[in-house]
Amino acid sequence: MTTQHAFSGARGPDGESHLFYQTRKRRPPIDRAEGIYIWDRAGKRYLDGSSGAMVANIGHSNPRVLEAMRRQMEKATFAYRLHFENEPAERLAAATAELMPEGLDKVFFVSGGSEAVESALKLARQYAVATGQAQRWKVVSRYPSYHGGTLGALAVTGMALMSAPFAPMLRDMPKIPAPTCYLDRDSLTPEERGLRYADMLADEIERQGPETVLAFIMEPVGGASTGALVAPDSYYARIREICDRYGILLIHDEVMSGAGRTGRFLASEHWGVKPDIVTLSKGFAAGYVPLGAMVADRRLVEPVLDAGGFVHGHTYAGNPLACAAGLAVLGEVLDNDLMGNAERIGGLLEAELKGLMARYPFIGDVRGKGLMLAFELVADRDTMEPLPVGHDAHNRLVEIAYGKGLIIYSRRTRGGRKGDHFMVCPPMIATAAQV
């Protein structure tokens, strides 16, 4: 005989929830979501203007994805990779590889962005060990940047606020400034600025000792840490050239910028630069399931497998349900030309945001690519002076928008100084009218 336990959802003796996240701040419970909208339990509708945390790329409750998940659930929801292969994982790996530049065709599945970054760092290191370059271990990254919350990913993250409490537990990794050219008031052309920032990588490699440097990790279009930062065109190719010059691996963290959001499957396609390793998550399964991937050049993977195997793995790697959902998401993106839509609608939204700059002098910058856009508030647009310390525009604007049923995503960080920028990244199904 079976009994049913009815969980009450009761709160603790002090009336507080048993759940906890970063702070005590709580939000209303979600009831349902569809397309670009979310409803809370009180019936209030919100426009998901940031796709959550730049995740829900194809919108909510997509029928094709739900059906694919239902069909897979009826077959098998879990199969441990050491016991069984599974078809959705095999098919998603093949479909992903097809969207990658030539040679970048070995796919390792994980459950999220931080795991994808950890996997990339570990594969890079194991490749060095397997090919007689064991002295290489330093991973150069940028400041500011965000590559994840787990300790390895945090070591290459350039956000003091996130890493400070863990400093004694983190290996100190070298950082170079992110190319925040929009703040520079020099006489250089954008192309010259791009080269100047890229050359900081060569300087840092020389300072560290080139034989000790393993890899450089960067977000081709910056995420929440820099507010959709795009470098001048010259930056991307020069970075590749410097990595090649020193035999250093180039890791593109496309956890946020990948999977089509910028109008191309990989943001790096805008500049025709091929990395050695790419990380994907967020829009890859668009919020339907936790899923991420680390995609590597076969040139790196083969020596590692030949030398005894990749010493790394997570229990949920290649989960059949997650991969079935990911495959359906990819199908929706490709069949409905959502990348083309991201480019078109992103262009419209960017023009609208730039139009607001004419009305509001405190909008200092609008930037991004496709539907990965951000605007930044400043005290003075000419000098790009940030809002004064203690000013709470950052939280206030988010709260005002939330009150009006519009979700935007914000962060306060800008190089060594504070900046108030806001990500505007609706799902890639957004229409001109919704913009």
Which residues of this chain interact with ligand PLP, rule CB under 6 A? Answer: 53, 112-114, 117, 146-148, 219, 223, 253, 255-256, 281
Question: Least distance (Å) from ligand PLP to the CB of residue 146?
Answer: 5
Q: 181: which residues sit within 8 A by CB, 6+ positions away?
A: 190, 193, 194, 197, 231, 232
Q: Which is nearer to ligand PLP, 7 or 20 (CB)?
A: 20
Question: Least distance (Å) from ligand PLP to the CB of residue 362?
Answer: 26
Q: 306: which residues sit within 8 A by CB, 6+ positions away?
A: 130
Q: Which is nearer to ligand PLP, 295 or 378 (CB)?
A: 295
Q: Which is nearer to ligand PLP, 117 or 338 (CB)?
A: 117
Helix (H, G, I), strand (E, B) or coil at 180: coil
Q: Which two tokens stand for residue 257?
A: 């910028």
Q: Which is nearer to ligand PLP, 281 or 413 (CB)?
A: 281
Q: 178: which residues sit within 8 A by CB, 6+ positions away?
A: 142, 143, 144, 145, 158, 197, 222, 225, 226, 229, 415
CA within 13 Å, CB half, 405 = 11
**Total H helices, total E strands in the chain:** 12, 14
Question: Least distance (Å) from ligand PLP to the CB of residue 257?
Answer: 7
Question: Least distance (Å) from ligand PLP to the CB of residue 249?
Answer: 17
Q: Which is nearer to ligand PLP, 53 or 237 (CB)?
A: 53
Question: Least distance (Å) from ligand PLP to the CB of residue 3?
Answer: 37
Question: Least distance (Å) from ligand PLP to the CB of residue 147?
Answer: 5
Q: Which is nearer to ligand PLP, 108 or 378 (CB)?
A: 108
Q: Which is nearer to ligand PLP, 147 or 421 (CB)?
A: 147
Residue nearest to ligand PLP (CB): 113
At residue 136, what are phi and psi to the nearest 5 degrees?
-90, 120
DSSP assignment letter at 357: H
**10 Å Cβ neighbour count for 138?**
20
Q: Which two tokens stand for residue 370?
A: 């496709």
Rounded Cα gap, residues 222 and 205, in angstroms:
22
Question: Least distance (Å) from ligand PLP to the CB of residue 54?
Answer: 7
Pairing status of strand 363-369 against strand 372-377 = antiparallel
Q: Which helix (H) or strand (E) holds 278?
A: strand 277-280
Q: Which is nearer to ligand PLP, 117 or 363 (CB)?
A: 117
Question: Least distance (Å) from ligand PLP to the CB of residue 292?
Answer: 7
